[in-house]
Amino acid sequence: MSVDAKNNSSTKLEVLMDIKDISLSFGGLKALQDVNLKIKKGEILAIIGPNGAGKSSMLNVISGIYIPQKGVVEWKGKLRKKIAPHDIARMGIARTFQNIALFRGMSALENILTGRNILMKRNLFLETLYLGMGRKQEEEHRQKAEEIIDFLEIQSIRKTPVARLPYGLQKRVELGRALALEPELLLLDEPMAGMNVEEKEDMCRFILDVNEQFGTTIVLIEHDMGVVMDISDRVAVLDYGIKIADGTPDEVRSEQKVIDAYLGAG
């Protein structure tokens, strides 16, 4: 499905997460102020804004890391209360980070396998003996990891310790680990940061493929406006913790508030 076709039908999409009247403060600093945001099933939503606009704070609210002082978050129509990070993962929400958070001494394959941990049904006896269901489960998880490696075209570095990989491939492995959770909602924190043009093109292709082939809903923070406008179905703009625009890329790029706050810089 083309981006235009998806944009035309975006208003009909089911709301996966509904963020209502969120306010978040750190001491006297207001990171978010009465922000409303709907994340629709199957879309790619970009959150943009100048430095300090509240983008990372919003992503941390979505992922349950931050608990806002005001407002509520609904997941699939149900109120989401304070919840532990591993429970967020069980809900089907995965994320990558602006600063790569991989196990540097482990191989690409081993890092991706760690993303399967929450899906593994532990049985200490079977794991110890490596028999029956224990062996079958191990083989199934390894097969899923290998499928992700094939999808991300990193077969040649599957056994390489990630500390020895160039930055762009490390970002790809981190995406693979997030995908290993089989998330319904994937959060990407500046997935293109530090990449060259070719690496950005590859990452854009993988993000679009994840969305189209797996049906994964994606929310991303990204500073590269060319990337944002090319791959997003919808764009939300924050400025000083306030949402100033929310719409298709074409709608947002023509908003005077956005031009003044962000796009007009330079």
CA distance 215 to 117: 22
Contacts of 22 (CB under 8 A, 6+ apart): 32, 34, 35, 36, 37, 58, 61, 68, 70, 71, 72, 73
pLDDT computed for residue 97 by the predictor: 83
Q: What angle do CA 10, 219, 54 make, to 5 degrees?
A: 115
DSSP 261: I
The model's pTM: 0.86
Give backbone dihedrals phi and psi of 46, rounded to 5 degrees, phi first: -100, 135
Q: Within 10 A of 205 (CB to CB), how many other CB atoms are there?
A: 12
Name the E strands within the chain.
Answer: 15-26, 29-40, 44-48, 70-75, 78-80, 93-95, 185-189, 217-221, 234-239, 242-247
CA distances from 184 to 113, 197, 218, 244 (A): 18, 29, 9, 27
Q: Which amino acid is at 264?
A: G
Assign 82 to helix, strand or coil. coil
Distance of CA 262 to the CA centre of its chain: 22
Token pair 């944002």 is at which residue? 228
Q: 101 with 174: CB under 8 angstroms?
A: yes
Pick out the chain residues at pLDDT < 50. Answer: 1-3, 5, 8-9, 123-125, 265-266
